Amino acid sequence: MASKMTFLFMLSFVILTLIKGEIVNQNNSSAFDFIRNLQGCCHKGSNVQGLHELKLYLDRFGYLSYEPAHYQPNANSTSQSFDDELESALKRYQSFYHLNTTGTLDGPTISRMVMPRCGHADIKAHQQMHSKSLHTVSHFQFTPDSPKWPVEKTNLSYAFGFNYSDAYVPPVVRAFNTWAAASGYFTFYRVNDIASADIKISFERGDHGDGGAFDGPYGILAHAFYPPDGRMHYDAAETWSVGPGPVPDTIDLQTVALHEIGHLLGLGHSEDENAIMWSSIPSGSLKGLNADDILGVKALYGLK
């Protein structure tokens, strides 16, 4: 009898473990997983369900000027057609991420596209890839008309929204301190009144009224606006980590804060995968500033 009870207990444990594992796998699915379904089933000239959503993705991140209101989203319409514009947009995307510019949805391109990322566009649609203000050994990005904080605004205040947990404050404070030390120019201080703060930090869900709707776990992680707007939003649907160290199946809050503060200061996305201003971060990983990020902010503000 005892051995039978032991066997039943062990069997129950195994079943529960498998169920738990299945739940974890489901929770780790990306909001961009629809792109995986397109691999190997579409080519130039084809009409495939899902290409409409792919065009919206490429439009959002700056690679395509797509006006879906002009299309009927069904399998027989141009919204689901693999046309010349889509091929060109894929090539621009592949060039930015140093992939082979095949203009097709190959494996490496799809693997890059489904990674959790910042909601900020990488480039402006149809922007010439070599017209950016680039240092000869760097890949930071900003244009000559990029907004930046005026010279009298180097000491910036920040505040957290009413729904912001105290547990998530220290990583953001550390991120501000890191940028202050690296720039040798900006300082940051916390205030209580979010309405009057230069930088306003909050957790948001879905469509929260700023034109950059969030999409659930492992899709768009956060976004921030160029100066002097100052808004910085995290997606509340993500599973966030405050460390210490990398935590599996979570997104590191401090790493994302470092990235979004770069946007708040006026930096765009970098083409250097080692830079904090690279657009994506895998779950369970950490990242800090590197030379490209520091060169970028110093170049933008004319610092030595």
Which pLDDT tens digit goes with each residue over 91-148?
999 999 999 999 999 999 999 999 999 999 998 654 444 434 333 345 677 665 778 9
Flag the least confident range among 121-130, 145-154, 270-279. Answer: 121-130
Q: By C-alpha distance, which of 102, 243, 108, 105 is closest to 175?
A: 243
207 phi and psi angles, rounded to 5 deg: -80, 110
Asked if residue 244 has a cis previous peptide bond (ω within 30° of 0), the answer is yes
Q: Residue range 78-88: average pLDDT?
A: 87
Query: Residue 233 CB: number of other CB atoms within 10 A?
Result: 24
Give the per-residue pLDDT at 134.
36
Q: pLDDT band at 28, cuts 50/70/90?
A: low
CATH fold group of domain 33-113: Muramoyl-pentapeptide Carboxypeptidase; domain 1 (1.10.101)
Residues 6+ apart with CB under 8 A from 238: 116, 217, 218, 221, 251
Q: What are phi and psi of 90, to 5 degrees?
A: -65, -40
Residue 108 confidence (pLDDT): 95
The whole-number average pLDDT for the span 57-67 is: 89
Of the two residues 126 and 160, the one the predictor is more confident about is 160
Q: Are 120 and 60 in contact (CB under 8 A)?
A: no
Q: What are the residue ranges of CATH 1.10.101 in the chain?
A: 33-113
> How high is the mean pLDDT of the chain?
83
pLDDT at position 186 over 90: yes
> Distance between CA 192 and CA 175 in Å, rounded?
18
Residue in the block written with tokens 């439009």? 59
CA distance linking residue 28 with residue 250, whole number of Å: 9
- Of 47-51, 74-78, 258-262, the range with the highest mean pLDDT is 258-262
Contact 148, 89 (CB under 8 A): no
Q: Taking 50 as the threshold, does the pLDDT of residue 18 lie above it? A: no
The per-residue pLDDT for 78 is: 61
| 76-80 average pLDDT score | 65
Q: What's the pLDDT score for residue 25?
A: 35
Q: 155-300 architecture in CATH?
A: 3-Layer(aba) Sandwich (3.40)
Of the given ranges (7-11, 47-51, 288-292), which has the lowest mean pLDDT?
7-11
Percent over 70 (pLDDT), the chain: 81
Cα distance between residue 200 and residue 304, in whole Å: 29
pTM of the model: 0.83
Give 202's pLDDT tier (boundaries 50, 70, 90).
very high
Residues annotated as catalytic are 260
Distances (CA, A) of 163 to 159, 160, 171, 204, 244: 12, 8, 16, 9, 23
Cβ atoms 75, 50 nearer than 8 A: no
